[in-house]
Amino acid sequence: MTTSRSVTLLDYGMCNMLNVARAFERAGADLKVTDDPRDAAVADRLVVPGVGAFADSMVEVTRRGHGDAIRAFAETGRPLFGICVGMQILFEGSEEFGDSPGLGVIAGRVMAVPAQTTAGVPQRVPHIGWNELLIPPSRNTWDGTIMQSHVSKAPAVYFVHSFVPHPADPRDRLADFDYGGHRLCAAIKRDNITATQFHPERSGDVGLALLGSFIGS
């Protein structure tokens, strides 16, 4: 655990950086925003945000030299946080607009949010709105994670997405949510890596608290 509150926010041109930066600053981060992949090597904590299409994000990550930097940082043991598409690109690939390769930091693939409920009723895609987070069947508790202080509060967070990751190892699932009876992955946690499909910067006090927990990790 690092004793500083230093956070490096990686800008690869696929995110509203102002909203994310403001949220981290409100949560107490000593923030540095950078588009230089070399800054990742010396970061105490690295944040990979993102919005939009998976393939477009991977094009920019690769073109700007961030892919190897993110992979290398993941191996350092220092805290890494992904948000939305910044979470998705950590996986091996996505089915969005065909078969697009990801960074391969986490085993698994990104697949479409189901367009029907489990009862066969059409449901809205993209999924937009607030959902309560659930402890996955593979976990008994959120102790020792950024979710730890919110177990009893059934925290609700804000989603905007058409695709969702499916970790190959269920133990990588940190939180789930229910959409039309489908239990989908809302967040992952493996070793030093935490990432959320939802937007903590748009999730009010709960989102700020989760960012604060990451900053203190």
| pLDDT tens sequence across 167-184 | 999 999 999 999 999 999
Pick from 73, 70, 75: which is nearest to 60 by CA? 70
- Catalogue the active-site residues: 84, 199, 201
Q: Which residues of the chain have pLDDT under 50?
A: none
The per-residue pLDDT for 150 is 57
Pick from 60, 49, 62, 56: which is nearest to 160 by CA? 49
The per-residue pLDDT for 152 is 55
The per-residue pLDDT for 162 is 97
Over the stretch 39-81, which tens digit does the pLDDT of each residue have?
999 999 999 999 889 999 999 999 999 999 999 999 999 999 9
Q: Could you tell me the two tokens for 210?
A: 């989760």
The per-residue pLDDT for 155 is 86
User: For residues 61-95, b (16+ Cβ closer than 10 Å) or e, as one string?
Assistant: beebebbebbeebbeeebbbbbbbbbbbbbbbbbe
- Rounded CA gap, 9 and 70, in Å? 12
Exposure on the CB side of residue 127, measured as CA atoms within 13 A: 28
